Amino acid sequence: MHKLLLTIFIAATLPLAQAKADQSVRIVPEKMSIIIDMDKLTLTLFNGGEPYRQYQVAMGRYESPTPVGNWEVISMETNPPAVMGTRWLGLNIPYGNYGIHGTNAPHSIGSFASHGCIRMFNSDVEELFTLVTVGTPVTIIGTPFGAPGTPPSVLKYGDKGPDVLEVQRSLKRLGYLQWTPDGFWGNGTERAVKKFREDNGLKGSVIVDEQVYKLLGF
């Protein structure tokens, strides 16, 4: 009789124990990818190529544009600094420390307000955090010069980013740059910009300003 009662008790508690165990397991859908649209200020999560979730975001100001391109998640943190809200998803962008994170300034969501990172409401980034993994592809689409409708930033020696990369590509097409553009303004880019300015009768500092942008076709 005792054995029978014990068997019944174990059988009855197994589903409950299994349910608790299942709740503790983080189940991430397969084939997840992210597209962040600068024009729409949205982050869309895709599952197997189909839209799965969409969130409103904030992106980089015109002087600190969010780098466009194809990246991926390389780190995930649950307790980032307070200004980054409650979650951090680091991206493999070579120009600095960029990522997708929460915020302590929720009023900024839906605008160009960050230093280049992608801001989300804390509740949204917490949900996103449960749906992606390290290695999730992230594509950022938009202009390399920052917020649409704003003038490109003045560039100079030591600058880096997608705007520098686009200028280098133009200089290379025109024969002023001899190597593969990398988005970093070093000595070679300095010489190329200086020569370009001289050839076009521009005096003053070696910078990429409004005149240079126009001559390069931007």
The CATH number given to whatever domain includes residue 200 is 1.10.101.10
Domain check: are 137 and 173 in the same one?
A: no
Share of the chain above pLDDT 70, in %: 86
Length reported for the chain: 218
User: At 179, phi and psi to the nearest 5?
Assistant: -125, 175
Catalytic residue among 2, 101, 107, 115: 101
Distance CA 21, CA 29 (A): 18
Kindly state whether residues 136 and 42 are assigned to the same domain. Answer: yes
Q: Do residue 57 and residue 123 come from a single domain?
A: yes
Residues 125-177 have pLDDT tens digits of 999 999 999 999 999 999 888 888 788 889 999 999 889 999 999 999 999 99
Domain assignment present for residue 27? The answer is no
Q: Does 154 map to a domain?
A: no
SS percent in the chain: helix, strand, coil, step 5: 35, 25, 45
**Based on the structure, what is the number of domains in the chain?**
2
Alpha-carbon span 18 to 152, nearest angstrom: 57
Q: Report H helices in the chain.
A: 2-24, 122-131, 162-173, 187-199, 210-216
Question: Which domain covers residue 38, as residue numbers?
Answer: 32-141
Does 93 reside within a domain? yes
Give pLDDT, residue 6. Answer: 41
Asked if 110 contacts 56 with a C-beta cutoff of 8 angstroms, the reply is yes
Give yes or no: residues 191 and 124 share one domain.
no
The answer to whether the CB of 38 falls within 8 A of the CB of 142 is yes
The dihedral built from the CA positions of residue 97, 99, 101 and 103, taken in this order, carries a sign that is: positive
| Catalytic entry in 2, 107, 115, 117 | 117
> What band does 187 get if pLDDT is binned at 50, 70 and 90?
very high
Residue 115 annotated to the active site: no
pTM of the model: 0.78
Other C-beta atoms closer than 10 Å to the C-beta of 33 total 17
CA torsion, points 197, 200, 202, 203, in degrees to nearest 10? 70
Question: Do 36 and 126 fall within a single domain?
Answer: yes
Q: How far apart are CA 214 and CA 156, in angstroms?
A: 16
**Where among 84, 107, 141 does a domain terminate?**
141
- Residues 129 and 173 both lie in one domain: no
Predicted confidence (pLDDT) per residue in 87-121, tens digit: 999 999 999 999 999 999 999 999 999 999 999 99
Residues 132 and 143: their CA atoms lie apart, in Å, by 26
Judge whether 61 lies within some domain. yes
| 146 in a structural domain | no
Q: 105's torsion region: left (phi>0), alpha (psi -120 to 50) or beta?
A: beta
Closest CA to 168 of 140, 136, 135, 190: 190
Is-catalytic flag, 117?
A: yes
